[in-house]
Amino acid sequence: MQVDIAKGILEKNDALAEENRERFARSGVFVVDLMASPGAGKTSTILATIAALRDRYRIAVIEGDIASRVDAEKIAAHGIPAVQINTGGACHLESDMIKRAVDTLDLDEIDLLIIENVGNLVCPTDFDLGEHAKVMILSVPEGHDKPYKYPGIFQVSEAVILNKHDTVGVFDFDEAEFRSVVHDLNPNAPVFALSATKGEGVEAWTEWLAARVEAAKAVQP
Identify which range of 1-9, 31-39, 132-140, 200-208 contacts another protein by CB under 8 A: 1-9
Nearest distance, CB of residue 159 and another protein, angstroms: 19
DSSP states of 54-104? TTTS-EEEEEEESS-SHHHHHHHTTT--EEEEE-TT-SS--HHHHHHHHTT
Closer to another protein by CB, 188 or 219: give it.
188
Buried b (16+ CB within 10 A) or exposed e, 67-103: eeeebbebbbeeebbbbbbbbeeeebbbbebbbebbe
HSE-up of residue 146 (Cα within 13 Å, Cβ side)? 23
Identify which range of 19-27, 55-63, 91-99, 201-209 contacts another protein by CB under 8 A: 91-99
Residue 176 touching another protein (CB under 8 A)? no
114 forms bridges with which residues in the sheet?
Answer: 32, 61
Report CA Rg, the chain: 17
Per CB under 8 A, the list member of 51, 90, 191, 204 interacting with another protein is 90
Identify which range of 41-49, 129-137, 144-152, 188-196 contacts another protein by CB under 8 A: 144-152
Residue 107 CA to residue 25 CA, distance in Å, equals: 10
Per CB under 8 A, the list member of 33, 94, 128, 131 interacting with another protein is 94
Closer to another protein by CB, 169 or 187: give it.
187
Residue 86 touching another protein (CB under 8 A)? no
Per CB under 8 A, the list member of 19, 177, 184, 203 interacting with another protein is 184
Are the beta carbons of 124 and 69 closer than 8 angstroms? no
Query: Where on the chain is the footprint of another protein (CB under 8 A)?
Result: 1-13, 89-92, 94, 122-123, 126-127, 148-152, 155, 181, 184-185, 187
